[in-house]
Amino acid sequence: MSPSPPLSAELRQVERCYQRGQEEVAALRTLDWKVAQGRWHAVRGPSGSGKSPLLHLLGGLDRPTRGQVLLARRHIPEDAGPRDPLIDLHAMDDEALARLRRTEVGFVFQSFHLLPTLNATENAALPLLLDGVRESDARQRAEHLLETVGLGHRRGHFPEELSGGERQRVATARALAPGPSLLLADEPTGNLDRVQGLEVLELFSRLMADHDMTIVMVTHDALAAERAEQVHELDDGRWLPR
Amino acid sequence: MRWLAVRHFARHKLRTALALMSVALGVSTFVSMSALNRNTLAAYAETARARAGDADLVARGTLAGLDASLLDQLESVDGVRRAVPLVLRFCTARRSSEEPAERFVFLGVDPQRPPGAEQVTLEQLVEEIAAPWELLSTKHPVFVNAPWARRHQVKVGDSWEFDAPAGAIALPISGILRADSIPVAMGSAVAMSPLASAQELFGSGDRIDRILIRLEENQDKEALLARLQALVGDQAHLSDPLQEAREFDAVLGSVRLALRLLSLLSLLIAAFLVHSTISMALTERRRELAILRCVGMPARSVRTMLLREALLLGGVGGSLGVVLGFAVAGSMTDLFWNTIGTTFDRIDAVASPLHPADAIIGLLAGPLAAAMAALGPARRAAQRAPLQGLRLERTPPAPSRAARDRRVSVGLAILAIALVNIEALHFPRSGYLVFVISIAALVFGGYPWMRLAMSRTGPWFLRVMGPGGRLARDHLDRAHGNTSSTLVAVSLGFGMVFSTHVLVRSFESLLEHWFDRTIQEDLFVMGEGFLASGLQGTDFDLSLRDEFRAVDGVSHVHGLRFNRIPYRNERVLLFSLDAAAPEDSGQFLYVEGGPADKAAWAKGDGIFVSEGLAFLQGVHRGDSMELPTPGGIRELPILAVVQDYTWPRGVVLIDDDLYQDLYDDFRAHEFAITLNSSRSLDSVQADIERILGDRYHAFVLTQEQVQSSVFSVFHDYWSLLLAQETLAVLVAALGTFHTLLISVLLRRREIGLLRAVGAPRQVLRRMIQLEGALIGLGGGALGVLFGGAISAVTLRVLCLEEQGYRCPWEFSWWVVAAVLVGAAATGWLAAWLPSRTAEQTEVLSVIGEE
């Protein structure tokens, strides 16, 4: 399984509004963004600035109220829609988006979100298993990735037996398992202490070098943002001028 | 704070409704069975009272009846106000030959000494009566009860054909009695005629069947009964009318016991579901409870609040259950009485099944079960430190291997003790103890056993069933508290199904074997349905036997006579048949003695007794039995003990010649005819029917027809249990549904995460359905083990302890497979809605929850 080539994404006039009672609240306001391939992007901003909704839109977890979220065509399954260099995620049905998430996009969450009943290897292999990869192949790939993130010796351990940093590394291995071209990280160091946070950021740097992927990382942490190649500031659903 | 509970219930309407339904169904099963059981005795008492009229004591004779001179003898005793003679016979009658027969209690009453009120005018007694000149010219005037007459649109002057020993006879309806003027036994199907007329119709000469004794006011009934008994000696057996009810109640003991055990099981199932419901609800509300603790609510208040909630749930559910239970009891009453009435004795169903005691039991059972179920979870929730509650992972950690092993060991040890005890304990009612132990074994050992069976199966599930299967298995492995309760509930439900199958199959197999060996006659002549004809059917004149014998192709004819006689506070069946019948008429299955004893039996040197009678009365081959006869008590040696299941309290088999000598009774209830091979069965049957002709409304049935008639009644009998099983399985399915629904809600984060990493919706759906199927399968497997043990216990109680014979335990592997498949399918179906809920989980709403 060789990693896929870097993925580019584009947001065109994207708006995301939520209904809160009678009131419509805008999380993202007419946002445009061209995500360069093979780069590490950090998105910073205060709470409620729209960082997480942005990430959810890029990962196909959510749909925009208005505008388009486009991913590079070559990474999208053949049956997803008409041929075009970029395809609108809105045109994809629910199952196609699910397939996209288990093949092309990797997620790393602030709260790790590991399954407590699966050990480290099984957690890391989960997207592959869901994609119908043979169990032995999935396990082999997961073990390799755990080695990569420095957890080869903890592969049989369950989440409750791991530290926060270790859990985040298992979550990263899981995100990398399908060989995604886009890694989306939502506050990956938010629940970690300083040392563990640095370890994870170091891991991301290594992955950038080894796997040639695009990383979009949402963070509060200025130190974490400094490790990224490009830092974007978001406030009240709009980009702040650089 | 009490509003918290109400708001919680209001917020989770579906779950609250499910919990209420679980409690209501469990309580309703319990209440309905309790009501049915309670009404059994009441119904028998009512029937006995109705047959006895307002008598304080009843004198019953030996089979040949009572001498009328006893009336004066009894009335001469101080304290006795009246002695009323009665001829009481069961018979059938029909409007015409083409119409179906109705069963009647036919009463012969003396107009000089009428039953009921002493001073009664004609207007008070009769609603409608024939004209005087018609009445005077009628040899056998018959009066029927008004409710029955109205039901069948019978008018004065109509003619009905009554089946009497000498054949069918057309009798005019001469009058319609007021509803409250005579007893209303047998659903008001009571026909009455003058004593002399009834004696002539039923060929009882000048003898009577019963004497109803009315005492003066303020008499010591017991003392007077003893005095009167001493006076009449062996000529009559005096008893309190209610004693008859108690005797029948003893006969029905086994049926009622089975129903009671099953109703207890239903209540247990409900209790487990309530436990599961409350336990899961508390898991879900751990944050809410932790916040309450954080803002200063004492642990004791949390516990009290949760217990109140449980009591409220149990109280409302229990109340619904009581209402439902009475409705179920009402609808089951007819089925119950019809079955019992066909098999044992025709009795009147008690009109209203409502009894305050049942209502109170039901109203208490719901809250009590709920409070018991909530006690543990409420205590744990109250003891949890507030911050722990806020931080706690939703999926509970798996119990340690040591804890699991300990529970498995305890469970298996209890089960082993239970199984060993089935044979080892011989004191009465040991079955109850084993029943309790078996349930304890299931409760303690059930879920650990399943975990043990599932250990190290994770890779297998992953390989064969994919990630959904693996996660389903993992969740079951971990969610021990909640799943355990549901699993036990499912096990109990399907355990009931399996145990009923084993009971039915074991009895069926026993009966089949007995039938095949013992009853080999080719044709049977009987007045009505096979079982009913024996004890409640029409009498035939024994001279018919000679007419049948003369038919070409007939090799042997039994004139069978069945009568219940008192023996040591029981009423056992005296069964008269021809001991000298050839081998091809059937052979006995000997328990003590053997075929060599048959010669002495045929000579009238003694009697055979059934295995059940020998066990219940503690008698053996070589002992003697004292039988009441018109000539006094006769002591007869027991020549052999044989298998015979005709009557649950035991059977005395007596040669017909000896019977006729002792009882001066030349009537038969049935004829069993064996053919030689010279003619076809059909042609002989036609000849027999020709002999019966218009004289008798009798049926000539083949052995197959008789056998199927027996098994049909047998299956009706067990269909009572089917209703309970259906309820139990429904409650178990509801529990599985509830558990899975809450489980899905508790695992929203896990489900959302699976969606986030790309799990298709169908994987989530399959995962939850598989969990349901696994709960069902595990419950089914445990149910087979539990049901197997319970059926062994029940067989012991029903057969050995209640009726005195051994019944081999038998089952079919097909049914085991069917139970497993059925249980898995039930779980799968119960998971349908929860799986839809899982499938529709919105990723962002749960990912963002943290």
ipTM of the complex: 0.71
Alpha helices for chain A (secondary structure H): 51-58, 94-103, 120-130, 135-148, 164-176, 194-211, 222-226
Burial of B497 (0-12, 13-18, 19+ CB in 10 A): buried
Measured CA to CA, the distance from residue A124 to residue B755 in angstroms comes to 15
Measured CA to CA, the distance from residue B502 to residue B796 in angstroms comes to 12
What residues of A are in contact with residue B749 (Cβ under 8 Å)? 113
- Residue A78, domain member (yes or no): no
Task: Give the pLDDT of residue A1.
Answer: 44
pLDDT of A15 > 90? The answer is yes
DSSP assignments along B541-568, one per residue: ETTHHHHHHTSTTEEEEEEEEEEEEEET
Burial of B122 (0-12, 13-18, 19+ CB in 10 A): exposed
Q: Are B176 and B156 in contact (CB under 8 A)?
A: yes
- Residue A73, domain member (yes or no): no
DSSP assignments along B713-740, one per residue: HHHHHHHHHHHHHHHHHHHHHHHHHHHH
Interface test with B, best of A115, A167, A174 (most B CBs within 10 A): A115
Measured CA to CA, the distance from residue A207 to residue A181 in angstroms comes to 11
User: What are the Cα distances from residue B122, in Å, to B111, B181, B190, B194?
Assistant: 12, 10, 18, 15
Task: Give the pLDDT of residue A238.
Answer: 92
Question: pLDDT tens, B682-727?
Answer: 889 888 888 877 677 677 888 887 777 777 767 766 666 676 677 7
CA-based torsion, A164, A167, A173, A177: positive or negative: negative
Measured CA to CA, the distance from residue B429 to residue B260 in angstroms comes to 14
What distance in Å separates residue B768's CA from the closest CA in chain A?
Answer: 15
Count CB atoms within 10 A of the CB of residue A242: 7
> Which has the higher per-residue pLDDT, A231 or B18?
A231
Q: Do A98 and B475 touch (CB under 8 A)?
A: no
For residue A238, give the 3-state DSSP assignment: strand
Cα atoms found within 13 Å of the Cα of residue B721, Cβ hemisphere only: 27
Provide the CA B197 distance to its chain's centre, in angstroms: 39
User: Nearest chain A Cα to B395, which residue?
Assistant: A116
pLDDT band at A6 (very low <50, low <70, confident <90, very high): very low
Alpha helices for B215-285 (secondary structure H): 221-232, 241-251, 253-284
Q: Are B585 and B514 in contact (CB under 8 A)?
A: no
Task: Give the pLDDT of residue A18.
Answer: 85
Cα atoms found within 13 Å of the Cα of residue B383, Cβ hemisphere only: 6
Q: At how many degrees (to 10) do helices A164-176 and A120-130 cross? A: 20
Task: Give the pLDDT of residue B6.
Answer: 65
- Residue A231, domain member (yes or no): yes
Alpha helices for B395-479 (secondary structure H): 401-424, 430-454, 458-478
Task: Give the pLDDT of residue B850.
Answer: 40
Measured CA to CA, the distance from residue B672 to residue B703 in angstroms comes to 9
Q: In which element (H, E) is residue B850 found?
A: none
Provide the CA A111 distance to its chain's centre, in angstroms: 13
Tokens found for residue B675:
């053919």
Task: Give the pLDDT of residue A67.
Answer: 92
Q: Do A98 and B463 touch (CB under 8 A)?
A: no
How large is the greatest C-alpha to C-alpha distance in chain B, in angstroms? 100
What residues of A are in contact with residue B475 (Cβ under 8 Å)? 117
Question: pLDDT tens, A94-112?
Answer: 778 888 888 888 888 877 7
Count CB atoms within 10 A of the CB of residue B374: 27
How many structural domains does chain A have?
Answer: 1
Provide the CA B650 distance to its chain's centre, in angstroms: 19
Measured CA to CA, the distance from residue A197 to residue A189 in angstroms comes to 5
Mean pLDDT by 10 residues, chain B (850 residues): 61 75 78 71 61 72 73 87 83 76 78 68 73 78 84 85 79 82 58 87 80 84 84 77 63 63 69 70 71 70 82 87 81 63 52 69 82 80 66 51 64 63 50 66 70 80 82 75 72 82 85 83 72 53 87 88 80 87 83 90 91 89 86 88 86 91 83 87 87 74 79 69 70 74 74 83 86 86 84 78 81 90 88 83 64
**DSSP character for B199?**
H
| Closest by CA position to B90, among listed B152, B166, B160, B164 | B164
Residue B530, C-beta contacts closer than 8 angstroms, at least 6 positions apart: B524, B701, B706, B709, B710, B713
User: Nearest chain B Cα to A115, which residue?
Assistant: B750
Question: pLDDT tens, B391-412?
Answer: 544 444 555 556 656 666 776 6
Task: Give the pLDDT of residue B329.
Answer: 75
Tokens found for residue B253:
């003991």
For residues B535-563, b (16+ Cβ closer than 10 Å) or e, as one string?
Answer: bbbbbbbbebbeebeebebbbbbbbbbbb
Task: Point out which residues pair with B672 in neighbouring strands.
Answer: B524, B558
- Residue A76, domain member (yes or no): no
| Closest by CA position to B477, among listed B448, B519, B517 | B448
* CATH number of the domain within which A112 lies: 3.40.50.300
Tokens found for residue B517:
């060996």
Q: Is A96 on the interface with B (CB under 8 A)?
A: no
- Residue A220, domain member (yes or no): yes
What distance in Å separates residue B256's CA from the closest CA in chain A?
Answer: 48
Task: Give the pLDDT of residue A110.
Answer: 79
Instruction: Tell me how many residue pairs between chain A and chain B have CB atoms under 8 A apart.
Output: 78
Q: Is A113 on the interface with B (CB under 8 A)?
A: yes
- Residue A155, domain member (yes or no): yes
What distance in Å separates residue B750's CA from the closest CA in chain A?
Answer: 7
Task: Give the pLDDT of residue A120.
Answer: 92
- Residue A9, domain member (yes or no): no
**DSSP character for B627?**
E
Residue B394, C-beta contacts closer than 8 angstroms, at least 6 positions apart: B283, B746, B747, B749
What residues of A are in contact with residue B395 (Cβ under 8 Å)? 116-117
What residues of B are in contact with residue A110 (Cβ under 8 Å)? 850
Convert A65-91 into a string of H (helix), E (strand) and C (coil). Answer: CEEEEEEEHHHCCHHHCCCCCEEEHHH
State the residue range of the domain holding A132. 37-59+102-239
What distance in Å separates residue A222's CA from the closest CA in chain B?
Answer: 22
User: Nearest chain A Cα to B846, which residue?
Assistant: A113
Which single residue is written with the structure tokens 């070589």? B622
Measured CA to CA, the distance from residue B837 to residue B740 in angstroms comes to 10
Q: Is A41 on the interface with B (CB under 8 A)?
A: no
Angle at B765 between CA A127 and CA B834, to 5 degrees: 135
Measured CA to CA, the distance from residue A198 to residue A195 in angstroms comes to 5
Measured CA to CA, the distance from residue A36 to residue A18 in angstroms comes to 28
Query: B204 — phi, psi (to 5°)?
Result: -105, 15
Interface test with B, best of A18, A112, A126, A128 (most B CBs within 10 A): A126
CA-based torsion, B223, B228, B233, B234: positive or negative: negative
Selecting from A100, A110, A117 the residue whose C-beta is nearest the C-beta of B475 gives: A117
- Residue A135, domain member (yes or no): yes
Measured CA to CA, the distance from residue B353 to residue B370 in angstroms comes to 26
Q: Calculate the dihedral angle through the C-alpha atoms of B50, B55, B56, B62, rounding to the nearest 10 degrees.
A: -90
Tokens found for residue B528:
């009505």
